[in-house]
Amino acid sequence: MVSIDRSYTVTPSETTPTTTLSLSLCDQIKLSNHASQLYLFTKTKLHPSTNILITSLSKTLNHYYPFAGRLNLVKGTNHFQLHCNNKGAHFFEATCHLTLNHLFANNFDSNHVVQKLLPKVNYDVPIQHVPLLVVQLTKFPCGSLTLGLALCRPILDGFSSVNFVTSWANLAKGKNLDSSLIPFINPSHLDSKSLHLPPRFQHHEFSPPPLWEGCNSNNLLPLYATTTLKLTKNQVNKLKNKVRGYTSFEIISGYLWRCVCKVRFQGNWNQPTRLTTSVNCRNRLNPPLPKKYFGNATFPTVTQVCSFDDIVHKPLCYVVGKVREAIEKVNDEYVRSALDYVGNQKDMSLLRDKFYKFDRRNVLMGGDPNLYVVGWSNFPFYETDFGWGKPDCLVPGFVNSDGIGKAFVLDDANGDGFVVTTCLQPSHIDALKKLFYEDLEMISSSKL
């Protein structure tokens, strides 16, 4: 279906700093795998030049030079270090022999198809040989194309990735790089200010999430599937009229949490559940971080553990309120306390295992009673123009995680609402698509 025609190693076009950076404590809690994004272009004005893409990427790496480096693990503590050694990013040029419309006849719900269009990262080699940025440009006989990105998680968050892609696109069109996009690279801004002091808060975001109760893992397989749910502005306003005073993201997250609990219900209303999301801390710190800070400046936060009964049967404002509480508590003092918590870990790999592998255990137990929602709204994804037109769609990649119970909230490409891409067990997908819209129609009733 998809064949790799050529591969390239792309290094900075100019001399960049050769140094070793100790990543911030906010970077340290990430796994060393990659987050993926897939841009779809169906209305290309010009046939894209691979040479222009590679040349502009090389120029972009002059500023975003950490992407040309490699990670290393410090023995004993398992902290990440970043060697800025100019090893380069990897770029693959590929061809698909089917049309884009044929591939995505099911509205981008096929994980199998998305994986073919995203670049493969080889994790079977030592960490110091794994590229931090991998790109795949796939061309279709219909003239459409896709651009898949794999970006190493400890290096940057969604805000940094948007700035990087915007910078690359501008340089590809021959524009000069705006000063607001030149990254601020100084991981020490998110280190603990008081190492070896105990944290001032209980940080439940680092505690194991609730497990599924009463499941027989021998009869269940860790499979997952995705679906794309669309909400118009009018539909979101209906939710806002019912639950006043909350942001669109808070309302969508709470509403989705309720729907997911309904379709997962197996007879136990006492089943515990929680919602996790991430909060951009750049403007929540005192003093605030620069907007162009390059790295991870988003911290996880979790709701209070609730029961399925709480989420399904209490008023929707109760559920949305739990999401609001989780987000609002992440202020300067809370983030500094979280940094103290992370900084006092003797072995960072143990914290990562506790933070991530319990989710994998949930998968092996046949599912996950929890929900993790990533907010990608208000990001200028659909302004990304490399010279052949703006993208028609952005598809998050679930390739490098178990995925079950994860959702992305994005703006609709037409600016008319939101897209909610959700990953669940295959048996729950159809029920979610049906319930999600049925409950929207019932939003004015007392049942919600």
Residue extents of the structural domains in the chain: 2-190, 208-441
pLDDT at position 357 is: 64
Encoded tokens for 138: 């796939």
Cα–Cα distance, 358 to 363 (Å, whole number): 9
User: What is the H or E stretch that residue 419 is in?
Assistant: strand 417-424
Handedness of CA 183, 186, 187, 189 (dihedral sign): negative
Residue 50 — pLDDT band, cuts 50, 70, 90? very high
Cα–Cα distance, 397 to 384 (Å, whole number): 18
CATH code linked to domain 208-441: 3.30.559.10
Tens digits of residue pLDDT in 99-113: 877 776 656 666 778
For tokens 């295959």, name the residue: 426
Alpha helices (H) along 219-347:
233-242, 248-264, 308-313, 316-328, 332-343
Residue 130's nearest CA partner among 74, 37, 68 is: 68
Query: Is the separation of the CB atoms in 113 and 95 below 8 Å?
Result: no
DSSP 363-402: HHTT--S-EEEEE-TT--GGG--SSS---SEEEEE-TTS-
Residue 229 — pLDDT band, cuts 50, 70, 90? very high
pLDDT at position 354 is: 78
Tens digits of residue pLDDT in 157-200: 999 999 999 999 999 999 999 899 999 999 988 987 666 678 99
This prediction has a pTM of 0.94
Pick among 3.90.105.10, 1.10.10.10, 2.30.30.30, 3.30.559.10: CATH of 2-190: 3.30.559.10
Domains 2-190 and 208-441 share a fold: yes
